[in-house]
Amino acid sequence: MRSAEEILKEAGIPARRVEVPGSQEEVASLVALARKDRMRILPLGGGTSIGLAPVPEEGVDLVLDMRGLNTIRELDPGNLNMVVDAGKTIEEINRELAQVGRGFMLPLDPPRCHEVTLGGCYAANSSGPLRHLYGTMRDLALGVKGVNSEGKEVGFGGVTVKNVSGYDLTKFLVGSAGSLAIVTSVALRILPIPDASAMCEISFQRGSDVQGFLRELRGSVLLPSALVATWKTGDEALKVVIGLEGHPKAVERQGREILDMAKRHGGEGQKTEGREAMERGLRSSVDPKRLTSQTMGLKVGVAIAKGLELMLSIEDLAAKGQVEASFSLLAGNGIGFVYATDSSTSVLEEMAKKVREIASEKGGHVVPLFGPRQILLSWGPRMDARLGRKTLKPIKQLWDPEGLLLPLGL
């Protein structure tokens, strides 16, 4: 696990002071002290989506390394819910849940889930292949606790499903990237681990009808848990990874029908049994193939039908610029991840600019996850300017009038 200092150094973010609070009370105390001195605060998890919020060029005064809060506070398998500290990683949560009773899971698997903390996942609205069946953090979060910019402890929702009257602030704060409050714990839905799991791994040579396969699978009655297309610049084939879960007979039948469907579209593959193999395959399908201080991570969103077309256009762009890149498309919802590595930051910056132009032409949107500081500083708005001005900016002024927390991505 990287230290807070290592994460900040890689991101090029100057910080005067780093603290590792061990409780919500300590977070509140540190924020209250920072407020007196008008210190800018950065809550930090694993640093895997540090580019989603624009950090001031001059850096921050106080970094709160939230990984000191890493306990499962409440666990109620009978009612399928739990409360977990914000600093616990997604991988750690699932490892512990798998040992409870017959085995449970939190169906979140964002890229680099061994580093992603729950609070960071909540703040960045991160998700991975399993969102195809189980949804995102907005679907799994039942309640949230945290600390506001005044150093006061706040909480919304709870462990029961019907826990809100009025506006659902638990859902509203998902994706707020530490700009409105510092998340200290989250109440979540959990699920039993299915009886059977398997993974289909299918290779499509360039020129084969992978788009037709994805379209037919999405329109079929089959219900995979995950559907990911993944490849690197220069690969002769695209790989499609499909996760299957449920009753053993249903998993067997779906696997057989998916492989037959793939053959009709020019694909060749195999099915591997077992949950460990499925989890390993899904994780490797979305994690960066290479990760250095000169790697830029982008998250792309577009209409489902245009997902593969957009990602292939971005690959062409990378190939023309001789940029080493890997691509992962969550083919059931149009979310894509682009990881590009080049020794020249200016080359990556120019690529990011062109990726945004291509995505915009296709009705999509791009945000930076991480990368060289120069790229993050020059990115500009992370969201639609009209939404920011008319809706979020007034809320930000109410919640954080002194601007102690991270700015909105306006």
State which residues of the chain have pLDDT below 70.
161-166, 409-410
pLDDT digits (tens, 9 = 90+) for 146-199: 999 999 999 999 887 665 566 789 999 999 999 999 999 999 999 999 999 999
pLDDT digits (tens, 9 = 90+) for 331-341: 999 999 999 99
Reported pTM = 0.95
Question: Residue 265 and residue 56: Cα distance in Å, rounded?
Answer: 49
Tokens of 286: 């979305």
pLDDT of residue 334: 95
Tokens 């949107």: give the residue: 365
Q: Give every strand in the sheet of 60-65, ordered side by side.
A: 15-19, 60-65, 41-44
pLDDT of residue 165: 60
Question: Which of 29, 1, 34 lies closest to 15 in space, CA to CA?
Answer: 34
Amino acid at 147: V
**Adjacent-strand bridge partners of 192:** 104
**Adjacent-strand bridge partners of 153:** 147
pLDDT of residue 409: 65
Burial 112-149 (b: 16+ CB within 10 A, else e): bbebbbbbbbbbbbbbbbbbbbbebbeebbbbbbbbbb
pLDDT of residue 408: 74
- The domains located in the chain, with CATH, are 1-193 (3.30.465.10), 196-286 (3.30.70.3450), 295-378 (3.30.70.600)
Asked if residue 85 lies in contact with residue 15, where contact means CB atoms within 8 angstroms, the answer is no
